[in-house]
Amino acid sequence: MGHTLVIDLGTTSVRGVALDPDGRIVAQHQIATVPDAPAPGLVEHDADELATAATEAATRVLTEVGDDAVTAVGIAVQRATTVVWDASTGTPVGPALGWQDLRTLGECLALGAQGIRMAPNNSGTKAAWLVQQAERSGVARESLRFGTLDTWLAWRLSAGRLHVTDLTNAGVTGLVRADASGWDPDVVSALDLPETALPTIVPTSGICGEVTIGDVRLPLGALLGDQQGSLVGQGGLRENVVKTTFGTACMTDVNLGHELHEVGEIAAYPIVVATTGDDAWYGLEATVITGGEAVRGLVEMGIVASPEEASALAASVESTDGVHFVPGLLGLGTPYWDYGARGTIVGMTLGTERSHLARATLEGIAARVTECVRAVELESGTAVERLRVDGGAATSDTLCQVQADMLGVPVDRSAQIEATALGAGLLAGLAAGTFDMDQAVAIPDVDRVFEPNWDDTRRADHAAAWQRAIRAATEWIPEMSAIKF
């Protein structure tokens, strides 16, 4: 039985990872690919740079484990980041618009007036914006192709043979029918997108063609969004497993079984967890738009030298001394969906030190995740008895402990911090026969369990103070806050 190669395109880096037949990472290579923010609310990537970095990372890993060791490739990506390219030249027609990009707020509002609900974090209006720019510059409409990053990378690695996506990625474009049965022609028409630009939707786990890494052609066995990848990597093909990934953003996900969950208000929203040729799993997700990115902000502002220093400083004090930080740098997601909210620090005094700011940042992330977990509980009708966590920021003991304290339930930190790659590898290996379903649904080992220490009084006091901080952060840009999707 062979190895599985995973390409993981995150928001700030690209990784190549190889898993052995026991699901252990035996090789990996990472390349930083930080997006540009040319103006407030705009987030852009260089699509060619992402594809080149992904190819390089995968080639290095393939060289390390051996060309003949790999039986399948899985691709996991930051979802909703949007690329439009000219199929006749293979050239992107503009920047890849990041999932955080807010330039199409107005277009989303116009769609709402037509009865079409689409958030600016979805891909649909981003694709329409890029198509319009391309047509104005003279690119033939029939030559245009649209895709999220899984589609773009599969197209590049197959030399244009594959134009595909899966429902974990298509589901966050805003272009799929409410029952997840395929592209919605009414929405596609409303956005004036050429139907020929849309990729074919294939199973999340299933051989859909071949890609070339270096000089080696390999079966492509899985395409999926990064959050579903980390849920699967945390044992989330089992029902009612709840995980939060502490990444650039923080996403809380749960698998609710084989029926699509319907919600009234979009606080925690329905997702497709994964599909195979024979089965499908559905669940809920809740979003903190700015999570670990807030810690990187401390570094960029010179308050700390590294995320590790932020965690150590936060651990050096027992409280924030009354300081609260709301990480709303690009607005607030679940349950507020306030795109006019902004990052806010309240409660500072002349006695506030760097350690208090560092702790307030970690507590702010944990407080937002707590709100997401509560939204998932409310929408699903099921109490969360423990939370599994992964992602780069989950290496902070302080963050994990504060998360347990605020939730009042144990927090299990996965032994595999980068669970996205594990999930993608499991699903690709499942398609290739490297892994069986028992392995795919297994709960992975826990690195450490964080038990809650706060009593009910402290938890309630913090929650009350947090709501005051939230009120200070919301509706900072009223005209943006007034837009609801």
Digit-coded pLDDT (tens) for 277-303? 889 999 999 999 999 999 999 999 999
Neighbours of 445 (CB within 10 A): 9
Least Cα distance to 424 among 38, 1, 3, 8 occurs for 8
CATH architecture designation of domain 3-225:
2-Layer Sandwich (3.30)
Strand stretches in 149-257, DSSP E? 164-165, 200-201, 210-213, 216-225, 242-246, 250-257
Token pair listed for 355: 């350690």
More reliable by pLDDT, 117 or 345: 345
Average model confidence (pLDDT) across the chain: 94
d(CA 97, CA 133): 13
Handedness of CA 263, 482, 367, 290 (dihedral sign): positive
Residues 217 and 58: their CA atoms lie apart, in Å, by 13
Structure tokens at 432: 């290739």
> Residues 141-148: what's their mean pLDDT?
97
Measured CA to CA, the distance from residue 226 to residue 208 in angstroms comes to 19
Letter for the amino acid at 229?
G
368 Cβ contact partners less than 8 Å away, ≥ 6 residues apart: 250, 288, 291, 326, 327, 332
Whether 350 contacts 338, CB under 8 Å: no
- What are the residue boundaries of the structural domains of the chain, listed by start? 3-225
Calpha distance 464→467 (Å, rounded):
5
Please give the DSSP secondary-structure letter assigned to residue 141.
Answer: G
DSSP 252-295: EEEEEESSPPP-SSSSSEEEEEEE-SS-EEEEEEEEESSSHHHH
The pLDDT of 129-143, averaged and rounded, is 96
Give CA–CA dist 379/382, Å, rounded: 8
Torsion sign, CA atoms 166, 168, 172, 174 = positive
Residue 1 pLDDT: 57
Looking at 34-38, 401-405, 411-415, 472-476, which range is the least confident one?
A: 34-38
Determine contact, residues 379/265, Cβ cutoff 8 Å: no
Query: What pLDDT sits at residue 107?
Result: 93
Q: Alpha carbon of 303 to those of 211, 243, 297: distances in Å? A: 44, 30, 9
pLDDT tens figures, 227-274: 999 999 999 999 999 999 999 899 999 999 999 887 666 688 899 999
Check pLDDT > 60 for residue 207: yes
